[in-house]
Amino acid sequence: MERYNITAEEQAKTFKKVMFRIIPFIFLAYMLNIIDRINISFAKLRMSEDLLLSDAAYGIGTSLFFIGYLIFEIPSNIYLKKVGARATLTRIMLLWGVLTILMSTVESTTSFYIFRFLLGIAEAGFVPGVILYLTYWFPGFLRGRVTSVFLMAGLVAGIVNGPLATWIMSTFDGWMGLKDWQILFIVEGIPAVLLGLFTWFWLTDNPDQAKWLTEREKYIVKTSLQTEQKAKVNEKNTFKQIFTDFRVHAMGFIFLCIYSGTNTITYWVPTLIKEFGVADIKQIGLISSIPYLFALIVMYLICRSSDKHLERRWHLALTMAVGSISFLLLGLVQYDLTLSVLLLTVGCGACFSAATLFWTIPPAYLSLTTAALGIAWINVMGSMAAAISPALVGFVKMQTGSIYFAFGVIGLLLIVGAIMLLIVIPTRLLQEQKNI
In this structure, is residue 430 part of a structural domain?
no
pLDDT computed for residue 368 by the predictor: 62
Query: What is the tens place of the pLDDT at every residue in 7-39?
Result: 778 888 888 898 888 899 989 999 998 888 878
In this structure, is residue 273 part of a structural domain?
yes
Which of 221-230, 304-313, 400-409 shows the lowest mean pLDDT across its residues? 221-230
In this structure, is residue 291 part of a structural domain?
yes
Q: Name the strand (E) or helix (H) holding 150.
A: helix 140-171
In this structure, is residue 2 part of a structural domain?
no
Residues 36 and 158: their CA atoms lie apart, in Å, by 11
User: At 399, is the pLDDT very low, low, confident or very high (cuts 50, 70, 90)?
Assistant: confident
In this structure, is residue 429 part of a structural domain?
no
Residue 42: CB partners within 8 Å, gap ≥ 6?
Answer: 161, 162, 165, 166, 169, 181, 184, 270, 281, 285
Domains contained in the chain, number = 1
Query: What is the tens place of the pLDDT at every residue in 257-306?
Result: 998 888 777 767 777 777 767 767 677 777 877 888 888 888 878 877 88
In this structure, is residue 435 part of a structural domain?
no
In this structure, is residue 139 part of a structural domain?
yes
According to DSSP H, which parts of 8-125 are helical?
8-38, 40-51, 55-71, 73-83, 85-102, 109-123
What is the CATH classification number for the domain harbouring 139? Answer: 1.20.1250.20
Residue 251: CB partners within 8 Å, gap ≥ 6?
Answer: 358, 361, 362, 365, 378, 381, 425
Residues 341 and 290: their CA atoms lie apart, in Å, by 8
Nearest to 118 by CA among 193, 66, 77, 73: 66
Range of the structural domain that residue 358 is part of:
9-205+213-423
In this structure, is residue 83 part of a structural domain?
yes
* Mean pLDDT score, 70-77: 79
The top-scoring range by mean pLDDT among 276-285, 331-340, 389-398 is 331-340
